[in-house]
Copies of this chain bind each other. A is one copy, B any other.
Amino acid sequence: MHMSARRAAAFTGTPAYIAKTVAVASLTAAAAVTLTLQGNLAGNIAECDATASVNKMTKVSTKPDISALDISVLDDTNVPMRKRMETYVKLLQRRLVDDIEAEENAGRTSHEPKHFTVESWTRKEGGEGTSCVIQDGEVFEKGGINVSVVYGNLPPSAIRQMSADHGGLTERVGYKIEGRDAEVDGLPFFATGISVVIHPKNPMGPTAHFNYRYFELMHPKTLKDGSPNPRYKKDEPVAWWFGGGADLTPMYLFPDDAKHFHEIHKAAADSQDAAFFPAWKRWCDNYFWLTHRGESRGIGGVFFDDLTLPSWTSNKATFIPLVDGSKNTDRQLVSAKQHDKESLFRAVRAMGDAFIPAYLPLVHKHKYDKFTSQNLEWQHLRRGRYVEFNLVYDRGTKFGLMTPGARIESILMSLPLFARWEYMEGTTGTGRQNSTAASMNDIDNQKKYPEEEMRARAAIQDVLEHPQDWLA
């Protein structure tokens, strides 16, 4: 029988955990992967991270270090967008860590303040990231704030796959990327983003998620045969786009909260282009849909991908083409505004800046709300659905998990501390309309829970099954 070192230790009297702790002292490798990049973007990049097996040792602190950042680049159009977006997401990460920590510790009963665990990593092939996690606080059950900056070579197979999801990319790329007469051996890429999931402890407080990212595909300096690439120009990408969004998942419905979250995001979007919000809200409702449950993960927000200029898309539109994630849309969504890369970056920053005022007041508002063990049970049931969405549907999570060498714990920090699944639960059971068992459970629930609780559960369940506009 095979005996690993740890197992042998466990069986021979040396506590395995002591051996393990000693081993930690000689850390030499930290697996790292782009974990803030949602969607197919993450998938494709994750693929080329497959060889990211040896990385630098991690370090731990309580705040992400922003001392090396130059804030002036944010508005400096002479600085490459890569650097500006990286600076933006790192500053936003730090702001969030500061604000969440302050919310956690304001009025905290434990005399020791609660801090984030902040771990940084670097990627051998190029790039780095910082994962900030707060867990088991008095206000926050679990919160993760990830930033990553990743670059390297995107292999032909990944470019092909990415083209399938990002229309017109192949034509845009122009190069012959595969076959015997391939001109290039993949293309350099760059990606940076911030990804956040926050689960408050109080069941009246809503869970929130947001993610903003920037992606670039670049011309290689030399072609496959070693000759200089005539198309190469420093800082001029082959393609680029922004993506992101923010969405709210309450356990109990407070319509004013839903309105507030949407209002703040709508105001931010409208400040840049009135065409953005209607498309992005709808895309959000379409994306966070649990098909097998026939319900939404949450009550909406905004979601977008492929945000780039018309001149960088294949359809040669005059204005930015907007989509809403519908499979068959009979509406043509268009922006009527002339954008440039600056205005799109401003839009992304406006959206990123909107999250704190859109969300943290809701945590604050509910952090001292009274709750019962029944409320907690319901919270755990709804958390279970969150787990289902993230593991079954979320593109970023799925592709991340399939990536050898990915930093799994950063990807899965989105999962709650607690989750619960009941068979044919009376209010949430899928297909309960056709199940006598579910109707019996519903009657049981009516005996167990006060009418107010049953009404509150039905109210949120109903809007999850029938997504609302909130601002209509």
Which residues of A does B touch, CB under 8 Å? 1-2, 4, 6-7, 9-11, 15-17, 20-21, 23-24, 27, 29-31, 55, 57-60, 117, 119, 133, 135, 142, 144, 291-293, 380, 384, 387-388, 391-392, 398, 401-402, 404, 406-409, 412-413, 415-424, 426-427, 429-440, 442-443, 445-446, 451, 454-455, 458-459, 462-463, 465-466, 468-470, 472
**Chain B min CB distance to A321 (Å):** 27
Contacts of A431 in B (CB 8 A): 30-31, 407-409
Structural contact, A60 and B440, CB atoms closer than 8 A: yes
A421 partner, pick from B60, B412, B443, B468, beta carbons under 8 A: B412
**Copies of this subunit:** 2
Q: Nearest B residue to A398 by beta-carbon distance?
A: B392
**Chain B min CB distance to A137 (Å):** 13
Q: Nearest B residue to A468 by beta-carbon distance?
A: B1
Structural contact, A31 and B434, CB atoms closer than 8 A: yes
Q: Nearest B residue to A28 by beta-carbon distance?
A: B434
Contacts of A423 in B (CB 8 A): 117, 133, 135, 142, 144, 409, 413
Most B C-beta atoms less than 10 A away, residue of A408, A446, A459: A408
* A15-B454, A435-B409 known; A421+B427 contact, CB < 8 A: no
Q: How far is the CA of A398 from the CA of B391 in the complex (A)?
A: 11
Structural contact, B6 and A458, CB atoms closer than 8 A: yes
A437 partner, pick from B16, B119, B291, B391, beta carbons under 8 A: B119
**Chain B min CB distance to A434 (Å):** 4
**Chain B min CB distance to A128 (Å):** 14
Contacts of A432 in B (CB 8 A): 409
Contacts of A58 in B (CB 8 A): 434-437
* A17-B427, A133-B423 known; A292+B27 contact, CB < 8 A: no
Q: How far is the CA of A221 from the CA of B93 in the complex (A)?
A: 66
Most B C-beta atoms less than 10 A away, residue of A29, A292, A412: A292
Contacts of A59 in B (CB 8 A): 436
Contacts of A119 in B (CB 8 A): 424, 435-437
Q: How far is the CA of A446 from the CA of B18 in the complex (A)?
A: 9
Structural contact, A462 and B20, CB atoms closer than 8 A: no
Most B C-beta atoms less than 10 A away, residue of A427, A435, A437: A435
Contacts of A293 in B (CB 8 A): 408
Contacts of A384 in B (CB 8 A): 415, 419
Structural contact, B1 and A292, CB atoms closer than 8 A: no
Q: Nearest B residue to A429 by beta-carbon distance?
A: B409
**Chain B min CB distance to A238 (Å):** 31
Q: How far is the CA of A415 from the CA of B425 in the complex (A)?
A: 13
Q: How far is the CA of A36 from the CA of B147 in the complex (A)?
A: 42
Structural contact, B421 and A415, CB atoms closer than 8 A: yes
* A387-B387, A402-B292, A436-B58 known; A465+B424 contact, CB < 8 A: no
**7 extra interface residue pairs, beta carbon distance < 8 Å, beyond A387-B391, A388-B391:** A4-B465, A6-B458, A15-B454, A16-B459, A27-B434, A30-B431, A292-B406
Structural contact, A1 and B472, CB atoms closer than 8 A: yes
**Chain B min CB distance to A169 (Å):** 27
**Chain B min CB distance to A262 (Å):** 12
Structural contact, B21 and A439, CB atoms closer than 8 A: yes
Q: How far is the CA of A283 from the CA of B347 in the complex (A)?
A: 52
Contacts of A416 in B (CB 8 A): 421
A2 partner, pick from B142, B451, B468, beta carbons under 8 A: B468
14 CB contacts below 8 A, A to B, read A4-B462, A6-B458, A7-B463, A17-B427, A17-B442, A17-B458, A20-B439, A31-B431, A55-B434, A292-B408, A380-B418, A392-B392, A392-B398, A418-B420
Q: How far is the CA of A201 from the CA of B432 in the complex (A)?
A: 26
Contacts of A23 in B (CB 8 A): 433
A292 partner, pick from B117, B401, B430, B443, beta carbons under 8 A: B401
Contacts of A443 in B (CB 8 A): 21
Structural contact, A469 and B1, CB atoms closer than 8 A: yes
Contacts of A433 in B (CB 8 A): 23-24, 27, 29
Structural contact, B16 and A462, CB atoms closer than 8 A: yes
